[in-house]
């Protein structure tokens, strides 16, 4: 039995983007639940989730986007692979950029069950994502989690090269 390195968990996500007034905006989501309720800067994320054992990574990214936002982009064919980004020694995030649009006030997320308050033994349901919003480059870099900043850097680099 190999007691060496475990295979890292792969998450897959979609960075939805649009152009407004000649500027690119990206759609990010804010985590739901009471722990995140009062936090803003450095907490937003690309809609993402764990890839199943036999699941295609882009298909998983689109599935997770639907589960976390309620917006179906499964028929979108034009996806720009932004690459893989190490999140920790045990997790890698694979992200694609897709041009599209959605209404942030219509976000409808799946829910997750967590123990709240911590160590209380009480399990409660909370939306996985409590809101989504469009951000320009500067604002997105302030809002997104530190570990996902390289995703935005890759995206804006892709726009400049395209």
* β pairing state of 9-20 and 91-99: parallel
Domain extent listing, the chain: 9-161
Smallest Cα–Cα separation from 46: which of 59, 20, 64? 64
In the predicted model, is pLDDT for residue 2 greater than 70? Answer: no
Give the global pTM: 0.91
* Pick among 3.40.50.720, 3.90.79.10, 3.40.250.10, 3.40.190.10: CATH of 9-161: 3.90.79.10
Give residue-wise pLDDT tens across range 84-126: 999 988 899 999 999 999 999 999 999 989 898 899 999 999 9
Give residue-wise pLDDT tens across range 142-154: 999 999 999 999 9
- b (16+ CB within 10 A) / e for 55-78: eebbebbbbbbbebbebebeebee
């Amino acid at each position: 039995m190999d007691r060496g390195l475990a295979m890292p968990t792969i998450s897959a996500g979609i960075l939805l983007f649009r152009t407004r007034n000649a500027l690119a905006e990206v759609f990010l989501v804010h985590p739901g639940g009471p722990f995140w309720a009062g936090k803003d800067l450095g907490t937003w994320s690309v809609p993402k989730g764990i890839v199943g054992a036999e699941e295609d990574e882009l298909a998983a990214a689109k599935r997770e986007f639907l589960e976390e936002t309620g917006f179906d982009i499964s028929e979108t064919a034009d996806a720009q692979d932004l690459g893989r980004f190490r999140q920790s020694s045990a997790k890698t995030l694979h992200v694609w950029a897709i041009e599209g649009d959605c209404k942030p006030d219509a976000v409808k997320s799946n829910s997750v069950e967590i123990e709240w308050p911590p160590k209380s033994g009480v399990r409660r349901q909370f939306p996985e994502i409590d809101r989504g919003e469009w951000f320009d480059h500067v604002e997105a870099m302030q809002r997104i989690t530190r570990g996902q900043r390289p995703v935005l850097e890759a995206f804006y680099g892709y726009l400049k090269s395209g």
